Amino acid sequence: MTETNQTPWRTASYSVDNNNCVEVAPLPSSTGIRDTKDRALGHLEVRPGAWRELLCAIKE
């Protein structure tokens, strides 16, 4: 994992009030994804191509 204390995690604006979502952050060679309810569990790293495919699928 390449997360640092300076990693700029972002939470979706739709879920700011309910704390029931995921956060994402740009990492050097991937996108980090983590659960806002249990950040201590760490994060997943998704390669750029897979991240684009996921976003396209969600938008459809």
Cβ distance 21 to 46 under 8 Å? no
CA neighbor of 48 nearest in space, from 25, 29, 22, 33: 29
Is 60 exceeded by the pLDDT of residue 3? no
What CA–CA distances, in Å, run from 33 to 18, 25, 48?
18, 7, 12
How do the domains of the chain map onto residue ranges?
19-59
Top pLDDT among 31 and 12 is at: 31
Tens digit of each residue's pLDDT (9 = 90 or more) over 14-54: 666 666 788 999 999 999 999 888 888 999 999 999 999 99
Please, are residues 51 and 32 in contact by the beta-carbon 8 Å criterion?
A: no
Q: Is the pTM of this model over 0.85?
A: no
Give residue 41's pLDDT: 92
Closest listed residue to residue 29, CA positions, set 58, 3, 55, 57: 3
More confident residue, 6 or 1: 6
